[in-house]
A and B are shown apart, each in its own frame.
Chain A
Amino acid sequence: MMWAIVLLPLLGALIAWLIPDNRRRSFVLPVFGLLHLALTVTLLAETPPPSPAGWIYLDPLGKLSLLSTSILFTICAAYAVGYLNYRRLRPNRTLCMALLVCLSAMTLVTISQHLGLLWIALEATTLTMAPLVYFNHNARSIEATWKYLLICSVGIAIALLGLFFLAYSTIVAQQEVTLLLGSLIEDAPRLHEGWRHAAFIFLLVGFGSKMGLAPLHTWKPDAYGEAPGLVGALLAGGLVNCALLALLRVYQIAIASTEGALFQEVLLGMGLLSMAFAAVFMARQSDFKRMLAYSSVEHVGIIAVALGLGKAALFGALLHMINNALTKGVLFLSCGNIHRAYNSKSTQFVRGALRRTPWSGALFLAAFLAITGSPPFGPFVSEFLIVSSAFVQGNYWSGGLFLLFLAMIFIGMASTVLPVVLGKIPKDIQKSPYRDTVHTVLPPLLLMGVILILGLWIPAPLHALLTEAAGMLGGGQ
């Protein structure tokens, strides 16, 4: 049953490979997206016991990650049909296959309890995303792909070295050597200190560069800026969540050892630094897709800050993981529509989107309000939980800086988004065939609805899941 959810998308990739027709092939994506989502919901409701060797198990942290990834993928897959219809001339076999293989790898990340297996799956997500970033086949996208591929491969290789250090620390401590999460958490206090310390540093750098925590985020603006909108959504929502889950596994081991406090401090520092970087670079950004990349840096920063604070902020961190993934989905998809409608992503030419593409413009505006933490949307709730936890803990400096950066980012992002959406349409503008249609508007609209609901009311099962998952990280409500 557990393997079915990993194999299902691979079957989809096989079918996509076999279908010769571009138009028909794109329908494979939503079909398998929906099947995956259905299977995810079934598994969430009735979780099978761990596999005999303990490698595969869907624990609450994995559940949250799997749920958000699956929802986001299904939405992106539904959008892909409409999007690929506009790009009919470009062959999409590689795109469809890579998307489905990537979904399979992301699913494997969420269900693996063996860190070696998790690493393999995470590396697989990196590699399958490369052809997706390169979908447009031009000079700019190849540059972005190269940077992405090299930095992420090197980062993830460093994480592997970290994992080896961790495994070796069990040998030195005369424990049975293992990379199973459960045994590592149990053995954590007894592991050899020097090796464990080195392992945490390497793992943080490795997974941090894949997540895009500052100062390891340099590949993000290029890759997010050049990838098609739906790929950007999956990078910012799916891949980030997988890397975050890997980091959370390390976090689980760290807090079980004596080094939890140090690990948290480093995360807090990196999180605030990420927010600061985002605040500075977000201002005066003339490419609205690149701006979204800095927003992604900001939000992994927010999550890192919350993990650094611990306690009640952990609930907020996990809720924010979901909120951020979904909101990034709406942002990238609507921004992809606007890009198509204007054939440009420079704020110099793109103005007045609300009149040219009313639905996409409105969605972009709403998602901008949501991601910057305005009520009544989901991210407001999670950010509020995090910042209030900082003040309750008496960590006034972190809380104050957090609020300051949020304000700076709101202003910086508004100065780009508002002209794009509300400004006056330039006269000498190119004509383009794109108009808002049901296919390209309904998926992000549905997602926006979910974000709104999450802002008003968290369903009881989700609340229970979040509390349970936060408990695994050592935090109570």
Chain B
Amino acid sequence: MNPLADQFLVLCLLLNFAVLGTSRLAFSVRAVALQGVLLGILPALIHPFSWHLAFIVVSIILVKGAVIPILIIRAIRQAEIQREFVPFIGYIPSLVLGALFTSLAFIFAAKLPLAPEHEGLLFVPASIATVMCGFLILMGRRKAISQVIGYLLMENGIFIFGLLLADAMPVMVEAGALLDLLVGIFVMGIVINHISREFSTLDTSRLSTLREE
């Protein structure tokens, strides 16, 4: 239907791999932010113009492309760390698993029918693959900031799916969900700050005093 939209989605999928394959935190944040901006532009490509749409586009780009990355980059500076050193799941295995999840997402999506107006678009597989990659980062990395990046990637994946519903969702719900995400990242940023002060590290595997013996 709209080849440009599909190209954007392919770009999003590639950005997942960029995040999976790097140890540099600032780079991952920028990749996720770029993905957020792409997602912000997407609704403008597939839906006819309306003020509701314009509001969504602007707020997504602003929140996902600017405010959230700034919050996280600041947390990275304060904690004085640049890299994820020894992840639970290495970079090569992460990439392989990411590829596996992406293909599984395509198989899963093929089983579910789309509404006629969305026929042939990549929204569903792109969404599920991005959610899975976010999960992979959440589980596979040690640093608290990496886990936040994983969470953001997951949110982006959910957002891709939400785009299919963009003209059906009331503005208030979209705005509320975005606000919740923003506040969530803000709170996580504060907690990260406290973790690095308390433990002098952001390695969440050190957070083990409460483990059941």
Chain A contacts to B: CB under 8 angstroms: 114, 116-117, 119-120, 123-124, 127, 130-131, 134, 137-140, 142-147, 149-150, 153-154, 157, 160-161, 164-165, 167-168, 171-172, 177-179, 192, 194-195, 198, 221-222, 225-226, 281
Contact = CB atoms under 8 A, between A and B. Distances in A.
A177 B158 CA distance: 18
Interface stretch (B11-19, B77-85, B165-173): B165-173
B114 to A, nearest CB: 7
A225 B177 contact: no
B21 interface: no
Contacts of A226: 210
Contacts of B155: 157
B138 A120 contact: no
Contact of B151 (A150, A164, A172, A222): A150
B173 A167 contact: no
Contact of B207 (A114, A147, A178): A147
Interface string B128-158: 0001000000100000100100010011011
Nearest to A226: B210
A45 B17 CA distance: 57
Contacts of A165: 161
Contacts of A144: 210
Interface of A is mostly: helix
B144 A146 contact: yes
Given A116-B170, A171-B115, A177-B165, A146 B195 contact: yes
B113 A192 contact: yes
B165 A171 contact: yes
A127 B194 contact: no
Given A120-B180, A131-B187, A194-B112, A177 B210 contact: no
Nearest to A150: B147
B138 A154 contact: yes
Contacts of A178: 168
Nearest to B188: A149
B120 interface: no
Given A139-B198, A164-B165, A168-B115, A222 B188 contact: no
A117 B176 contact: yes
B165 A127 contact: no
Interface in B167-193: 168-170, 172-173, 176-177, 179-180, 183-184, 187-188, 191
A164 B162 contact: yes
A363 B127 CA distance: 51
A150 B169 CA distance: 26
